[in-house]
Structure 1
Amino acid sequence: MTGIASIRTYKTESLPGSIRIFVHPDHRRKGIGKELLKHSVAEISKTGVSEVLFYTSSSAPAGSLFAEKLELKKEYDYSSNRLTISEADDALLNEWLDYPLGAEQEIFMAVWHNLTPEDRYGDLVCFYQKVHDAEKGQPGFVEYTYTEEKFRQREKAMNKTGSQCLTIICSAADTGEILGMTDISWSPSRPEVVFQGYTAVLPSVRRKGIGKRLKAEMLLHVKKNIPEAVFIRSGNTNYREPILRINEQLGFRCTNTVTVWKKGISALKAVTGGKKNSSI
């Protein structure tokens, strides 16, 4: 096999589709990537999407050159990071358990295993929507509406894979409003690798240490309850500086950087209409 391409689209019309192209190193600069792209664009255009995302990795520099020749628009960088759990500083984690300092309202922490409690779906939807809407104007932002049913479907799909999921929630003691959350997942067949998922804090209560408290609670929980875990892997967009700083303090190190690119369907058709034996 010299190359392969895959496309992905979503039922939500406002979300762009995506195309991923892989060409064997021994067969690059022979026009294979462009031919795969032409076929991929033809197929994905049938779905009605107007824009397409592409992803390149720092571990394969040829991908960025391919994107630049296609005149794709660079959206943002996404870094993959890894923490060796044994290297996490317990003294720092225990210090962060005292956050948030000087909080104006009392909080309580909760741990959810796999499923969201039935009476909390509404609160979770509200939290996600507020955090999402606050990112309007950031690279890659698209309008999206969260619903309880979407969360139920996601959890159902996760359970079918056999993966385990754990969520730690920080809520206001008086109203029950979710102020922040973080979640992880792992496979029982490979418990040495834990995947850090979503971590967020409501815009109205940021800069109070809630993010640090959540991260500390999660790491200490992993150390105590998942003794087989060796690494935690995390991914973050480059504009989420607060969480990047927290991860750096915890000892996470970047292992790879993915760049996200975008281009409209009509422009892609024009770009891929060149000579068949292009060096792209």
Structure 2
Amino acid sequence: MDINIEPFHPIDASNELLDKYLEFYFNYLKERDPDDPLPSKDYIKHRYRKKTPQWVFKRWIVFNKGSKDKIIAASSCVYTVTGATIALKKKDRARIRIIVAKNFRNQGIGTKLLKIITSELQKTNKRVIETTTSFDSGRRFCEKFDGKLITESTESRLYLRRVDWRLINQWRIENQQRNPEVSIELFTKIPEKDIEEFCELYTEVTKQEPSEKDYQLIMTPELRRQREQQWEQENIIWETMITRESTGAISGITEISIYQKGLPTNAYQGFTGVREKYRGRGLGKWLKAEMLTHIQNNYPKVKLVITDNTNINAPMLSINRRMGFQFYKKVSEYTFEINQLAQKFGIKD
């Protein structure tokens, strides 16, 4: 089909064009998560117009040829700038997203966008493309271009009105009695005295998450402080709960985030992890029960909690099921070698 593909720069785009993009994007969100309310339009506009000095964003939008009334597809790629302080073990990655409106799929639009992205990334020092999808059509597209499936995770949801609070309170009491010398602490900012140990534990625990990924996030005090500053600026509630041993050591972590301006009805349960030598004492269950109780008692707008775990992380999936989390969707993550895509598309250096 005849289409026009144009670069898209939301930071300096006109309000009219950004509104057209948001209409397209919100239609995609309704299809992806039909049970969710839409986020605040002003909040999303603010995020798209915000400058991100450590990241490079490239975006494209697609119109029917001869008409700019409606956006029918869009794509983006993002990667770190040279010299960025973001602490990734490997910085040769770029993340991409390709969205095609439902009525325009299977007509070659996604392929054209992937070719443009591949050509753009060949000009950089990036070697690998990453992307995620929760659509069967997205999985077929990735497989068509020989994407390597590296992670399959389950997004699960827990509606607070359905929580068995008797069970949650039982977990809190039992595990407190089981670990009488352990205390629970809650932070919005990690105390300076704990920041080094926290980052070490955060990195260790994320490394233990089962996955085929060949890289990982390395948390550093600098990166954590950057994130805390960003969350504060964007009015994002991000809370960290830890278990502290009688020795003062941090043994376990769980985190939540709530986008107050964007979607205050949803709380996102981040990863929960316990340092290996402290496992087998119910600390993970205790942390999750305490955090759920904290959400219920302090955030009356929150209606549901969303979490995701890899499908091979059986212990965490088991805890979630017993808490009442129910399967919502499968999310698949793929990687592509940029040079292989370039060869497939006939793109020369």
| TM, length-normalised to structure 1 | 0.88
Distance 1:252 1:18 in 2: 29
Counterpart in the other structure of 1:26: 103
Distance 1:146 1:258 in 2: 24
Candidates 67, 74, 89, aligned match of 2:142: 67
Counterpart in the other structure of 1:8: 78
| Contact map agreement 1:99 1:209 (CA 8 A) in 2 | yes
Q: 1:188-231: per-residue Cα shift (whole Å, max 9, x none)? A: 34432211122111122223211100011011111112222211
| Contact map agreement 1:100 1:209 (CA 8 A) in 2 | no
Candidates 143, 155, 162, aligned match of 1:80: 155
Q: 1:33-88: per-residue Cα shift (whole Å, max 9, x none)? A: 1110011111123331111112221xx32111111111111111122211011211
Alignment of 1:150-229 (within 5 A): 150-174=223-247, 176-189=248-261, 190-229=263-302
Q: Name the SS of the counterpart of 1:191 in structure 2.
A: coil
Question: Does 2:308 align with 1:235?
Answer: yes
Go from structure 1 to structure 2 and tell me whether the alpha carbon gap of 1:100 and 1:44 turns closer, same or farther (over 3 Å shift): farther
Question: Does 2:172 align with 1:99?
Answer: no
Candidates 80, 89, 105, aligned match of 2:164: 89
Q: Across the two proteins, how many residue pairs are aligned to each other? A: 268
Q: CA RMSD in A?
A: 2.0
| Contact map agreement 1:7 1:19 (CA 8 A) in 2 | yes
| Contact map agreement 1:101 1:208 (CA 8 A) in 2 | no
Per the TM alignment, residue 271 of structure 1 is displaced from its structure 2 partner at its CA by 2.1
Q: Name the SS of the counterpart of 2:152 in structure 1.
A: strand
Distance 1:23 1:2 in 2: 6
Q: Which runs of 5+ in 2 are unaligned?
A: 1-70
Counterpart in the other structure of 2:319: 246
Question: Does 2:118 align with 1:36?
Answer: no
Q: 1:234-270: per-residue Cα shift (whole Å, max 9, x none)? A: 1222222211111111111121211111121111112
- Give percent identity, aligned residues only: 29
Q: Name the SS of the counterpart of 2:123 in structure 1.
A: helix
Candidates 195, 206, 210, aligned match of 1:132: 206
Q: Which runs of 5+ in 1 are unaligned?
A: 275-280
Counterpart in the other structure of 1:120: 194
User: 1:126 is aligned with what amino acid?
Assistant: E
| Contact map agreement 1:100 1:208 (CA 8 A) in 2 | no
Counterpart in the other structure of 2:58: none
| Contact map agreement 2:239 2:257 (CA 8 A) in 1 | yes
Per the TM alignment, residue 101 of structure 1 is displaced from its structure 2 partner at its CA by 6.8
Go from structure 1 to structure 2 and tell me whether the alpha carbon gap of 1:13 and 1:2 turns closer, same or farther (over 3 Å shift): farther
Counterpart in the other structure of 2:29: none
| TM, length-normalised to structure 2 | 0.72
| Contact map agreement 1:194 1:229 (CA 8 A) in 2 | yes
Per the TM alignment, residue 123 of structure 1 is displaced from its structure 2 partner at its CA by 1.6
